[in-house]
Structure 1
Amino acid sequence: MELLSSLDLLRKDRIRTPFNRWVDDLHDICGSFRPSSMDTSLDIHGEARRINACGMEFSHISNDLDRIHRDWDDVRRDAVEQLFLIVQLEGSCGVEHSGRQSALNVGDCILVDSTKPTTFHFHGKYSNHLSLNVPGQLIYFHDSDKLNVARTLEAANPMAVTLRALVAKILSTSESDAQAPDLRQTMLDATRQAFVSDLESLMSFDSLNDLGSSRLQMVDVLIDQHLTRSYLSAKWLAKRIGVSMRVLQLHFQDMGMTCTTLIRDKRLRFAREKIKQLRFQHDAQTIADVAYSVGFNDLSYFNRCFKDLFACTPTDLLRSTDRSLAN
């Protein structure tokens, strides 16, 4: 924690923020989460703010709330799939995510997926954490990687020490620095390596007693692992998890979507992140190349679906400097 302690991140309990403004800031930075306070008429000790450094985005969240919750309705409301690499800076909090319950203490790290319900418990006690916001597919898109989301790395774990050191380095590095691209890639690689696991362990959480929930989680992992493959389809997924197409459709019906829609939207979100990266690259890759690389065969269909989901065309995104389009 020594490197992070040297930055302007600690003792944010000295800052007082009106409850409604704090909630608005959180929504602007992290998406649809529902904060609950012991008393909403009182100011919150802490703040929710965005930090941009080295071409990466962080959320710096401090508060003394009761809890912050995100359910399936909130997940569907957001059009962004992100992973949050959280480093606990001060205080502690409890985390419920992907069927696991964890306690974060100072220096601990955890990986949280925005596409899954999550609850952070504070019980009115001050907590301060830093979150690196990473587009999910930049971490998931490796055939050999099976991420153990919701795994907690205790402060003394060598990988937690490495992650904190990299975060500190990134926070003190300008995006224009010649080393910034390599540093960003090192951060992504280290995060992936820190939370890699076997698929079997991902599917064996004791708390996943509900068969439907377990199957949906298996489907979610399989989609992320095979996202750009031409064979990925609802039929292929049903066969992989050993159910009929009808059973798979019923599982998704309970979530208010279809398996095909989930695959399409994940591909679109991956494409959006790749298009955003084109603005920092100088190769000859085009939007069409991106569309085909993430699994679309029809460019017109890709453009139409992209605009429907993100309210802008791929070309608009590539040319835009407006954060409302770029985020």
Structure 2
Amino acid sequence: MQQLVVPTHRPIPVESMRSELRRVCGVFDVEPSRASNGIVCGDVSLRRMGSFDTAVVALDASHVARSGHAIRQDPGEHLFLLLQDEGHCRIEQNGRSTALAPGDMFLVDAVKPSCFTYDGQRSNQLSLHLRRDEMLHRFGDICTGGIAIDRQDPLWLAMRAVIAKMVAAPTASTPLQEAFFGLLGAYFHGLREAGRPRETVLSRALALIDRHAADPDYGASELAFQLNVSERTLQRHFEPLRETPSRRLLKRRLELARGRLATDGIARPASGIAAIAFECGFNDLSYFYREFRKQYGETPGKSRH
């Protein structure tokens, strides 16, 4: 299988490799092979593909690990879609062990301890950094915990093709990014149909927020009532997102408003901003302006294209 990236393999002290890996990917520990005298051949670089940060990690270490202690130091904000581009790796996460050959993909959960074993053999990997809160927002809990992407599934080939296009044309990757999310969504749907856990309270809550965000009278109490849980219980289900149901609802309304401003705001007079705010679930215009500026660092008027 053709490599997507050809990184530099250079001898560097393991401490330098560890430092670079932590700078790009978070707190991981690197263990060199016994015969290496503390030297690892490889490199770590970061590139931008659309809105994805993508790490290219080349090394010949014994293993790389992310422990519970490391997670407490650096709570993971991402899921890492790992694509094995050259060599082999064995990933252990969430009680499962998965062997990766060239072309294989695995969705690593940064909030769960993990270990990547290379046995001192040369390995190249691409790691797409997917924001955990966005992934949970889009797909619910089914995307967490560590998931191997089955290369027997036709969607595997489609996902790899989209990644290859993003590597080849990183500045033109935004439409490809949405196509990639669509393929991931289809893959997770297949997992649910195959008997993986059904919808959780969180995934149902996120879907209801998407459905009712434009209703100004819809709030956390209505959401909890529809889910048949208490507001306190609902809050606990939102803890992985590090936000409250009310904050998620506000962010969704702001997203709706910003999208409307970008697409049809230019066709409306200045008063049209108020109309868009009301249509997206805000009944207090000064509150809308204040929260919009806090979220996006600019006024609603500046978001009009």
- The two structures have a TM-score, normalised by structure 1, of 0.62
Which residue of structure 1 aligns with residue 65 of structure 2?
A: 69
* 1:282 aligns to 2:277 (yes or no): no
Which residue of structure 2 aligns with residue 194 of structure 1?
A: 187
Output the CA distance in 2 between the equivalents of 1:51 and 1:24: 17
Output the CA distance in 2 between the equivalents of 1:110 and 1:198: 17
Output the CA distance in 2 between the equivalents of 1:100 and 1:29: 25
Match of 1:16 among 11, 27, 32: 11
User: Structure 2 matches for 1:1-327, cutoff 5 A?
Assistant: 1-2=1-2, 5=3, 7=4, 9-10=5-6, 12=8, 14-39=9-34, 41-142=37-138, 146-147=142-143, 149-155=145-151, 157-175=153-171, 177=172, 180-196=173-189, 197-198=191-192, 201-202=195-196, 222-223=201-202, 226-227=205-206, 230=220, 231=223, 236=229, 259=236, 262=239, 265-266=242-243, 282=262, 318-319=296-297
Task: Letter of the 2:202 partner, please give it.
Answer: I
Q: Is the 8 A contact 1:106 1:155 kept in 2?
A: no
Query: For structure 2, which runs of at least 5 residues remain unmatched after alignment?
Result: 210-219, 266-272, 282-286, 299-305
Mark the CA change 1:267 to 1:87 in structure 2 (over 3 Å): closer, same or farther.
farther
Output the CA distance in 2 between the equivalents of 1:142 and 1:261: 14
Residue 67 (structure 1) shift: 1.6
Output the CA distance in 2 between the equivalents of 1:16 and 1:319: 43
DSSP-derived class of the 2:24 partner: helix
Output the CA distance in 2 between the equivalents of 1:158 and 1:200: 15
Output the CA distance in 2 between the equivalents of 1:60 and 1:276: 31
Q: Is the 8 A contact 1:44 1:63 kept in 2?
A: yes
Q: Between Structure 1 and Structure 2, which shows a larger proportion of helix residues?
A: 2
Output the CA distance in 2 between the equivalents of 1:264 and 1:136: 8
CA distances 1:250-273 after superposition (whole Å, capped 9, x unpaired): xxxxxxxx94782561559979x9
Output the CA distance in 1 between the equivalents of 2:248 and 2:29: 26
DSSP-derived class of the 2:102 partner: coil
Output the CA distance in 1 between the equivalents of 2:92 and 2:50: 30
DSSP-derived class of the 1:125 partner: coil
Please report the RMSD computed on the Cα atoms of aligned residues, expressed in angstroms. 4.4
DSSP-derived class of the 1:134 partner: strand
Output the CA distance in 2 between the equivalents of 1:165 and 1:143: 21
Mark the CA change 1:226 to 1:115 in structure 2 (over 3 Å): closer, same or farther.
farther
DSSP-derived class of the 1:95 partner: strand
- The two structures have a TM-score, normalised by structure 2, of 0.66
CA distances 1:144-184 after superposition (whole Å, capped 9, x unpaired): 88337533235454222111110111122243x4xx43221
Mark the CA change 1:181 to 1:199 in structure 2 (over 3 Å): closer, same or farther.
same
**Identity in percent:** 19
Q: Is the 8 A contact 1:63 1:127 kept in 2?
A: yes
Q: Is the 8 A contact 1:142 1:225 kept in 2?
A: no
Q: Is the 8 A contact 1:65 1:124 kept in 2?
A: yes
Task: Letter of the 2:142 partner, please give it.
Answer: K
Task: Letter of the 2:296 partner, please give it.
Answer: L
Residue 16 (structure 1) shift: 2.2
DSSP-derived class of the 1:10 partner: coil
Aligned residues: 259
DSSP-derived class of the 1:163 partner: helix
Task: Letter of the 1:30 partner, please give it.
Answer: C
Output the CA distance in 2 between the equivalents of 1:222 and 1:319: 32
